[in-house]
Amino acid sequence: MTALCMRGRPGLGSLLRLVGALVFIATATPARSDDAITVQLDQARIVKIPDRAATLVIGNPLIADATIQPGALVVITGKGYGATNLIALDRAGAVLLEKEIEVTGPSDPTVIVYRGQTRQTYSCMPDCQPRIVPGDHGKDQFDDQVAYFKDFFKTTVEQSATRNTQALAGGSVR
């Protein structure tokens, strides 16, 4: 009888250790991104924040950008693939909200062409046209297309920079 009790106790101890380990794992793993704000690349999303928010902090502005709007709204724009965080502070610096932002790829019909190590993305609505996507490269191994893609990327980046400059200038005029 004593032998049975001795065997039973280590079993109970193992069970308690297992439960303890499961509780530790459940609390140690990062929170699921169910409450994350998902934004598509090159798209904007409007999110409601606490009324007292006065300052927004974005962990990595290369991934997302955020702007406070009247009515306790925030416009979040996806700038690059990945995840970052958004922190809303009140005037005293107290944290009112902290959320993860996930920037995902486009949901519109796209075609991705791989040639060796290079990749080119095309947006196909309704006709396929080249699309600037982080990670895409010009087709350097094809001499007759190198100049076309270098000019394409250069022109598109210049146009994007001009558009952003004009948008910033237009937003500051009241």
Q: List the CATH number of the domain containing 81.
A: 2.60.40.1080
Residue 3, pLDDT score: 41
Domain boundary among 72, 104, 136: 104
Distance CA 74, CA 68 (A): 5
Over the chain, what is the mean pLDDT? 77
Residue 69, pLDDT score: 92
Residue 174 has pLDDT above 80, yes or no: no
User: Does the residue 9 lie in any domain?
Assistant: no
- Per residue in 64-123, pLDDT tens? 999 999 999 999 999 888 999 999 999 999 999 999 999 998 777 888 888 877 888 888
Judged by average pLDDT, the poorest of 120-124, 128-132, 133-137 is 133-137
Q: What is the mean pLDDT of residues 34-61?
A: 91
Residue 149 has pLDDT above 90, yes or no: no
166 and 114 together in one domain: yes
Q: What is the CA radius of gyration of the chain?
A: 25
For 59-144, strand residue ranges (E) read 64-69, 73-78, 82-89, 95-104, 110-115, 118-124, 128-131
116 and 80 together in one domain: no
Judged by phi (left if over 0) then psi (alpha if -120 to 50, else beta), residue 82 lies in left
Q: What is the DSSP letter of 161?
A: H
49 and 80 together in one domain: yes
84 and 130 together in one domain: no
Task: Say if strands 95-104 and 37-40 run parallel, antiparallel, or are unpaired.
Answer: parallel
Q: Which two tokens stand for residue 3?
A: 């032998």
User: Does the residue 8 lie in any domain?
Assistant: no
Residue 7, pLDDT score: 45
Residue 6, pLDDT score: 42
Question: How many structural domains does the chain have?
Answer: 2
Domain boundary among 50, 81, 104: 104
41 and 94 together in one domain: yes
Residue 2, pLDDT score: 39
User: Does the residue 17 lie in any domain?
Assistant: no
Element (DSSP H or E) covering residue 170: helix 143-172
User: Does the residue 2 lie in any domain?
Assistant: no
Residues spanned by the domain of 95: 33-104
What is the pLDDT confidence band of residue 140, given thresholds at 50, 70 and 90?
Answer: very low
Contact 152, 163 (CB under 8 A): no
Domain boundary among 85, 104, 123: 104
43 and 95 together in one domain: yes
* Residue showing tokens 């290369």: 62
* Of residues 50, 45, 127, 118, the one with CA closest to residue 89: 50
